[in-house]
Each structure stands twice: as C-alpha cells, then as structure tokens.
C-alpha cells in the first residue's frame, strides 16, 4: 500500500516545481539567457549596495530585479500571450532602456564617490548589468524595427511572416 501512494505524492511536487521554473527551450534562447543574466546581476548588485555605505542606491537594483524576474516568469510560462492588450516588447524595451541608464549613473557614483569595497563591487556589477541591459534593448529595438518595416498589422510572429513573404517573392 505504501508503494502505491509514493509515486502519486511526488507527482504534484514535480508539476508545481516544473510550472514555476522556466522551460529548457526558453532558458537556452537568447532572450532567456539575457533575462537570467539581468536577474542575477541585479540581485548581486542589490546585495552589494545593501552591504555598502552607498545603501541609498539599493532601490534601483531591487526594482530591476523584480521587473526582470516578472518578465522572466511571464515569457517562460507564456503569460504574455494570454494578455494581448499589453505591448510586451515595448514594456520590455522601456525597462531595459531605463535600467541601463540608471545602472550606469549609479555605478559611476558608487565607484567614484564611495571608498568601501562593497560599493566598488556594486559599481562593477552595475557596469556589467548596464552592458547586459543595453544589449537587450538593442536586440529588442532591432526586432521592433524589423516588425515595423513589415507593416506590423498582424498579430503573428514577424519573423515567420518575413520568411513566408521572402519565399513567395523569390519564386
């Protein structure tokens, strides 16, 4: 009787855990890797700022950590596909632009004004986060520009439409 109950008791744990964690396909994608890097760098920068004398800057990494974590969850569970009313790529673009600018500013201040080691570490991780956020908004901008060049009238994937049109034009 104990053998019958054991497999069924582990299945709900696996399904709950697998529903929270991002899928392997998303994690191995470019967007997934960028979001994971943004989450990790924002968290490390938050911890460094919290332990430093530059604790006034702790809000920015915390907010960016939460925003990146939300988008990681939304994209990995396809939550964004259920809510078509939101302009998800535009929200992600604005988040990355503001994050890269603000991380750059607070990193310069943390490195130049404060002398303790954790402030310097927070500044260095902030500069790395600036690069990752800037790369993300550059890639999002290119995708949005390609989508707008195609007309942007449909709800389908822009890359799939481009392949269909280019195949029919070349015949």
Residue 31, number of CB atoms within 10 A of its CB: 18
Q: What is the pLDDT of residues 33-47, one digit of tens each?
A: 999 999 999 999 999
Predicted TM-score of the model (pTM): 0.75
The residue that leads in pLDDT, 132 or 158, is 132
**DSSP characters for 103-167?**
HHHHHHHHHHH--SHHHHHHHHHHHHHHHHHHHHHHHHHHHHHHHHHTT--SSS-HHHHHHHHHH
Residue 48, number of CB atoms within 10 A of its CB: 24
78 secondary structure, DSSP code: T
User: Residue 24's pLDDT is what?
Assistant: 79
Q: Which residues contact 37 (CB under 8 A, 6 or more apart)?
A: 132
Q: What is the pLDDT of residues 47-97, one digit of tens each?
A: 999 999 988 899 999 999 999 999 988 888 888 888 887 788 888 999 999
Kindly give the interhelix angle for 117-149 and 30-50, rounded to the nearest 10 degrees. 150
CA–CA separation, 67 vs 92, rounded Å? 9
User: Residue 133's pLDDT is what?
Assistant: 96
What is the mean predicted confidence (pLDDT) over 24-39? Answer: 89
Q: Are 122 and 54 in contact (CB under 8 A)?
A: yes
Domain residue extents for the chain? 28-77+89-151
Q: Which residues contact 27 (CB under 8 A, 6 or more apart)?
A: 33, 36, 76
User: Residue 13's pLDDT is what?
Assistant: 54
CA–CA separation, 20 vs 129, rounded Å? 25
Q: What is the pLDDT of residues 98-135, one digit of tens each?
A: 999 999 999 999 999 999 999 999 999 999 999 999 99
Q: Which residues contact 171 (CB under 8 A, 6 or more apart)?
A: none
User: Residue 111's pLDDT is what?
Assistant: 93
User: Residue 82's pLDDT is what?
Assistant: 86
Q: How confident is the model at residue 14 (pLDDT cuts 50, 70, 90)?
A: low
């Amino acid at each position: 009787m104990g053998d019958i109950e054991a497999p069924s008791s582990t299945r709900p744990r696996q399904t709950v855990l697998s529903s929270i964690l991002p899928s392997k396909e998303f994690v191995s994608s470019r967007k997934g890797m960028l979001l994971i890097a943004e989450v990790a760098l924002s968290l490390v920068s938050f911890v460094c700022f919290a332990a430093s004398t530059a604790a006034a800057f702790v809000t920015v990494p915390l907010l960016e950590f939460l925003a990146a974590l939300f988008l990681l969850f939304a994209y990995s569970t396809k939550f964004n596909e259920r809510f078509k009313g939101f302009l998800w790529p535009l929200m992600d673009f604005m988040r990355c632009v503001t994050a890269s600018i603000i991380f750059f500013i607070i990193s310069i201040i943390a490195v130049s004004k404060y002398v303790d080691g954790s402030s310097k570490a927070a500044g260095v991780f902030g500069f790395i986060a600036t690069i990752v956020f800037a790369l993300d908004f550059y890639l999002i901008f290119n995708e949005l520009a390609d989508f707008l060049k195609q007309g942007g009238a449909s709800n389908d994937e822009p890359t799939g439409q481009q392949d269909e049109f280019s195949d029919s034009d070349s015949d």
